[in-house]
Amino acid sequence: MSFKATVLQVFIASPGDLADERVVVADQINIWNRDHAASQGFVFVPTAWEWAVASQGYGGQEQINRQQVHHADVVIAMFKAKLGQPTQHYQSGTAEEISVAYKRGAQVSVLVSNKPAKPGVYEGNEYDKLKGYLQDIRDWGLTQSFSSDHELRNNVDRILWKARSDAIASTSKKTASPEVAEQVQITNGSSDSAILRRVWPGVLRNVQRLRRTTQILMESAVISEVRDGIVYLTMPSAGLARRAAEPANADLVAAAIRDLLDVDWEVYFDHTTVE
């Protein structure tokens, strides 16, 4: 079956001590494509330094940058117990790939492994270098952690859904109706909670445009408050709250709010027990 799709390149970066995890990331990208590419109109293409083609006149890292990093829409970088081999200008090849991609505006995530390991793995000079580097980039807000392959797959899934939502937000026009726009203008100066409650029907229409099943789920959501850039939504049960908090749903709601109000709010789901 053929279908139209937006193609986003995902570069997988890491030192050599994460060979198994690199396979997991590539596999999870392929699973996302299998399950969602046709329905969502997005395809993620994994790339990695192993696939760079030798080119005369360029060093190894420069070849990787030119062929892959410079074209990546998404970079998933991983670290475990070492930073990796230094390059001409950076502490390691992975550090260079992160910096190059981050500076050119790609979506970059740094996943740090906390998986159980043999004694001595998480110590020593190499591990100290890694800790120092992670401290240096802490303010970039890129770092997440994982302690199992299952958590790694969940992180990758969340990254892909966010990339999809960000791509839609950056290319689509605002979809608010004149009535909704008027409501926003009328409530200028009101609390964020009050504004969101007034335009919530427009948010649901945006969500429906992105994913019908999420829109149906959000019909039962109640806006508790908006505080410090976080939208607190209450669901009727713990099960629905867990389902709503899945990246496939939460990231779409955040994107729909962003499309309508031009704000970058996070979405948090809680539940209340109905007697």
Cβ burial, residue 44 (10 Å; 0-12/13-18/19+):
buried
Same domain, 69 and 196: no
User: Domain residues for 122?
Assistant: 6-170
Note whether residue 1 is domain-resident: no
Residues 78 and 183 both lie in one domain: no
Tell me, what's the pLDDT at 206? 81
Final residue in a domain of this structure, among 105, 140, 170? 170
pTM above 0.95, yes or no: no
- Residues 199 and 222 grouped into a single domain: yes
137 shares a domain with 17 = yes
Distances (CA, A) of 138 to 22, 48, 141, 163: 23, 24, 6, 21
Q: Residue-wise pLDDT tens for the chain (275 aa)?
A: 678 899 999 999 999 899 999 999 999 999 999 999 998 999 999 998 876 555 444 557 888 888 889 899 999 999 999 999 999 889 999 999 999 999 888 999 999 999 887 787 777 888 999 999 999 888 888 899 999 999 999 999 999 999 998 888 776 544 444 444 444 443 444 578 888 888 888 888 888 877 888 888 898 889 998 988 899 999 888 888 899 998 888 888 988 888 778 788 999 998 864 43
**Vertex 207: Cα angle to 267 and 274 (nearest 5):** 60
Domains held by the chain: number: 2
Output the six-digit token pair for 2. 């053929």
Pair (14, 40) in one structural domain: yes
Integer Cα distance of 7 and 198 in angstroms: 36
